[in-house]
Structure 1
Amino acid sequence: FGYVGKQGVKNIWRNKMFSLASIATMSACIFLFGLFFSIIVNFQHIIKTAEEGVAITVFFEKDATDSEKKAIGKALEARKDVAEVKY
């Protein structure tokens, strides 16, 4: 292990330009991976937030009676895709 380590350091010192090019290439790849990963995670978070925050507002006519409003509310609550109804 000592010989291999010694030769590795010696060759890195001899080939400075190739070593710098290799480090720059790896750094660029890691940076691009991190950039795309953060964009994808952020996009997934936005989609999840949008799915949880879907809301519909219902406006009643001025002359609607309370029984009509309650009937519409019960019809909305009966749907399986409705989580909550607020008046």
Structure 2
Amino acid sequence: MAAADITGRLARYMVEARERVLAPHVAREARHRILDTLAAMVSGAHLKPGEMAIHYARAQGGVAEATVLTTVLSRKRPSSPPISGPRP
């Protein structure tokens, strides 16, 4: 049951963290990390592993639950999140 306690504590922390103001340097670093991640996803889509992942998502078909970044594809969640994350 220790894992459930840790999960509960983490969930409470995250809920409380929504109300906290980030220090300016923390907010700046977070923006840089988010932009870096998006840039890696976009540029990686044109490399062999990214092309293979997109090809895999195309082959899966399914309902439009998640968008595959850098494409016009929308696929079921099991194939899209590993490629570009869930649709908001």
Say which structure is richer in strand.
2
If the length of structure 2 is used for normalisation, what is the TM-score? 0.31
The structure with the largest alpha-carbon Rg is 1
Say which structure is richer in helix.
1
